[in-house]
């Protein structure tokens, strides 16, 4: 195992060409860095506003995390009919698998430079677009995950031909491994996105997608579909994390289906929130699809598997790394030290993790409670809103402008001069949002994410410490950590763009 890891690492270093050039799957940025005064203003606002959530609540309730207003969309007859119709769910699944094959085929046989649907669809529509959708609407990935759908179809086919056991071998998954496979795969993905210089060459995208397909199908067959999707499929874990922020949740009323499900938490005492496996198993009238306040899902006391906190930190660091690569500071670091882009992909999460654990330990000492691991696992989620806000601030103009390219690309996915839907000549519109609006919205987003994060951390500390005074004390280090992370995010947006 260690040898495999060493070999993989060596392979990564060989691939890294160390060019500081911007290796990114996206087109040019149209944003101007935020001006210094606005950066300072945002930083000041982050510090001032950090104390608002603390002042707002100092109640102590055992179950506070589960008490939030909800509205079950399934209670509206029409919505229920539409949302549960096989036409919609089956259609989305079919669409997802179709798009997956279109991307792979376009990558393999389509035009390699210029017009090709693969880079824009994967990096803009899917990666940025679906992330935004998941965080701001809800997590569709468990429904449309193309590897899950393909596996289901294959399984159905195999059973129809009389193989009762289906495709799953159901080998025992080593529990100590937790979600570390997903952490590793996600790191590789971040490396491809930010460092690998061929990340927007269509053929590379197709080859990476096929390799990942092999890994995922094999993992699902070997350990069972549910187990692998929960622990090894990086995107299921990633979108699941964003889905905790989303203003919607799936919920099972009657937890009879839950025993034995490793997604449900023992601590939840008969509640089953955002466990898609249970949701699928439950009888239709036991299901709820709730609207809820955003971000409350990150404060729920769900079970965190080994590697859970590490995954969150890798996501946080990855988001920052993406922006950091375009700053003059990073160019200097690459010039003056032996740190390459590839090394940075690994070092930055380690640095983040070290800083995070340090602050958690401080918080724990001030709170006067034992159980470092429990603290480290729980607090990681409270930082997610800052990362989501930063990601949105950083990318929403990309999505608005580069995202329009998909209009023409669907008509000519391979670059062969087709015009399937008559939109091949669509010209993207620039200047939908002015630079001034972009500045203010970026700062507002980041500061809002910061306030939510402080609120979450405080409610998590109330849950862990069960005492408002100690919780307040334990929050001071977390406040500092969050102000630091927020100011770093703002700072990156204020940096001049290097070519």
CB closer to other proteins out of 264 and 451 = 451
Figure out which of the listed residues 350, 435, 469, 484 binds other proteins, where binding follows CB under 8 A. 435
Q: Measured from the CB of residue 468, what is the shortest distance to other proteins in angstroms?
A: 21
Of how many residues is the chain composed? 499
Q: Measured from the CB of residue 431, what is the shortest distance to other proteins in angstroms?
A: 4
CA distance 405 to 390: 24
Task: For residue 54, state whether it binds other proteins (rule: CB under 8 A).
Answer: no
Of 2-10, 233-241, 435-443, 478-486, which part binds other proteins (CB under 8 A)?
435-443
Q: For residue 463, give Cα distances in angstroms to 267, 270, 294, 375, 377.
A: 12, 18, 19, 11, 13
Sheet holding 287-291, edge to edge: 71-72, 287-291, 248-252, 272-273
Nearest to 1 by CA among 177, 196, 239, 164: 177
Footprint (CB under 8 A) of other proteins, residues 29-48: 29-32, 35, 37-38, 40-41, 44-45, 48
Q: What is the DSSP letter of 301?
A: -
Task: For residue 28, state whether it binds other proteins (rule: CB under 8 A).
Answer: yes
Where are the extended beta strands (E) located within 198-286? 248-252, 272-273
Q: Measured from the CB of residue 497, what is the shortest distance to other proteins in angstroms?
A: 7
Show Cβ contacts of residue 462 under 8 Å, excluding neighbours closer than 6 positions: 60, 64, 468, 471
Task: For residue 52, state whether it binds other proteins (rule: CB under 8 A).
Answer: yes
Task: For residue 21, state whether it binds other proteins (rule: CB under 8 A).
Answer: no
Q: Measured from the CB of residue 119, what is the shortest distance to other proteins in angstroms?
A: 15
Task: For residue 431, state whether it binds other proteins (rule: CB under 8 A).
Answer: yes
Taking CB under 8 A as the rule, which mask of x and - marks residues 438-467 in contact with other proteins? xx----------------------------
Q: Measured from the CB of residue 257, what is the shortest distance to other proteins in angstroms?
A: 46
Structure-block tokens of residue 181:
């496979």
CA distance 103 to 208: 11
Q: Measured from the CB of residue 48, what is the shortest distance to other proteins in angstroms?
A: 6
Task: For residue 497, state whether it binds other proteins (rule: CB under 8 A).
Answer: yes
Q: Do residues 478 and 379 lie in contact, with contact meaning Cβ atoms separated by under 8 Å?
A: yes
Terminal Cα distance for the chain, rounded: 40
CB closer to other proteins out of 370 and 499 = 499
Figure out which of the listed residues 59, 67, 164, 499 binds other proteins, where binding follows CB under 8 A. 499
Number of chain positions touching other proteins (CB under 8 A): 24
CB closer to other proteins out of 105 and 444 = 444
Show Cβ contacts of residue 125 under 8 Å, excluding neighbours closer than 6 positions: 403, 406
Cα-to-chain-centroid distance, residue 18 = 27
Query: 107: phi > 0 → left, psi -120 to 50 → alpha, else beta; which?
Result: alpha
CB closer to other proteins out of 209 and 443 = 443
CB closer to other proteins out of 257 and 438 = 438
Q: Measured from the CB of residue 158, what is the shortest distance to other proteins in angstroms?
A: 48
Of 164-172, 176-184, 299-307, 433-441, which part binds other proteins (CB under 8 A)?
433-441
CB closer to other proteins out of 182 and 451 = 451
Task: For residue 57, state whether it binds other proteins (rule: CB under 8 A).
Answer: no
CB closer to other proteins out of 52 and 88 = 52
Task: For residue 49, state whether it binds other proteins (rule: CB under 8 A).
Answer: yes
Q: Measured from the CB of residue 392, what is the shortest distance to other proteins in angstroms?
A: 18
CB closer to other proteins out of 53 and 299 = 53
CA distance 314 to 308: 10
CA distance 97 to 154: 13
Task: For residue 434, state whether it binds other proteins (rule: CB under 8 A).
Answer: yes
Q: What is the residue whose two structure tokens read 């100011």?
A: 487
Q: For residue 52, give Cα distances in angstroms to 245, 376, 379, 453.
A: 20, 24, 19, 12
Q: Which residues pair with 200 in a beta bridge?
A: none
CA distance 170 to 469: 48
Half-sphere exposure (Cβ direction) of 287: Cα atoms closer than 13 Å: 19
Cα-to-chain-centroid distance, residue 118 = 21
Q: Measured from the CB of residue 44, what is the shortest distance to other proteins in angstroms?
A: 6
Q: Which residues bind other proteins (CB under 8 A)?
A: 28-32, 35, 37-38, 40-41, 44-45, 48-49, 52, 430-431, 434-436, 438-439, 497, 499
């Amino acid at each position: 195992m260690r040898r495999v890891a060493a070999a993989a690492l060596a392979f990564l270093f060989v691939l890294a060409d160390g060019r500081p050039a911007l290796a990114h799957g996206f087109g040019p940025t149209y944003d101007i860095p935020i001006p210094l005064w606005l950066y300072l203003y945002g930083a000041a606002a982050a510090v001032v506003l950090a104390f608002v959530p603390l002042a707002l609540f100092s109640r102590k309730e055992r179950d506070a995390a589960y008490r939030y207003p909800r509205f079950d969309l399934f209670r509206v007859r029409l919505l229920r009919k539409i949302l549960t119709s096989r036409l919609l769910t089956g259609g989305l699944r079919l669409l997802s698998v179709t798009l997956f094959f279109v991307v792979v085929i376009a990558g393999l046989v389509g035009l390699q430079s210029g017009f090709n649907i693969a880079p824009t669809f994967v990096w803009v529509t899917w990666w940025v677009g679906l992330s935004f959708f998941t965080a701001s609407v809800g997590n569709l990935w468990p429904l449309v995950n193309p590897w899950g759908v393909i596996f289901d179809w294959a399984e159905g086919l195999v059973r129809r031909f009389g193989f009762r056991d289906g495709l799953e071998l159901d080998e025992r998954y080593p529990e100590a491994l937790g979600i570390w496979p997903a952490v590793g795969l996600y790191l590789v993905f971040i490396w491809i996105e930010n460092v690998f210089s061929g990340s927007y060459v269509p053929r590379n995208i197709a080859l990476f997608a096929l390799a990942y397909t092999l890994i995922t199908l094999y993992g699902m067959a070997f350990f069972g579909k549910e187990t692998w999707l929960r622990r090894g499929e990086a995107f299921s874990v990633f979108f699941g994390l964003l889905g905790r922020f989303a203003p919607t949740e799936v919920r099972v009323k009657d937890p009879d289906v839950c025993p034995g499900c490793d997604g449900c938490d023992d601590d939840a005492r008969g509640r089953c929130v955002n466990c898609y496996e249970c949701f699928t198993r439950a009888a239709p009238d036991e299901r709820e699809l709730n609207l809820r306040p955003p971000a409350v899902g990150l404060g729920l006391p769900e079970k965190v598997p080994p590697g859970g906190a590490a995954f969150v930190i890798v996501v946080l660091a990855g988001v920052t790394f993406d922006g950091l690569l375009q700053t003059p500071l990073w160019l200097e670091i690459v010039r003056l030290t032996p740190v390459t882009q590839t090394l940075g992909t690994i070092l930055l999460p380690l640095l983040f993790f070290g800083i995070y654990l340090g602050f958690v330990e401080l918080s724990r000492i001030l709170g006067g409670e034992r159980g470092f691991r429990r603290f480290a696992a729980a607090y990681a989620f409270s930082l997610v809103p800052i990362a989501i806000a930063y990601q949105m601030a950083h990318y929403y103009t990309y999505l608005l402008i580069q995202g329009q390219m998909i209009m023409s690309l669907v008509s000519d996915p391979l670059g062969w001069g087709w015009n399937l839907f008559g939109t091949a000549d669509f010209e993207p519109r620039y200047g939908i949002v002015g630079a001034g609006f972009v500045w203010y919205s970026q700062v507002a987003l980041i500061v809002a994410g910061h306030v939510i994060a402080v609120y979450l951390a405080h409610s998590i500390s109330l849950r862990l410490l069960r005492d408002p005074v100690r919780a307040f004390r334990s929050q001071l280090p977390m406040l500092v950590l969050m102000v630091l992370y927020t100011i770093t995010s703002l700072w990156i947006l204020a940096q001049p763009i290097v070519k």
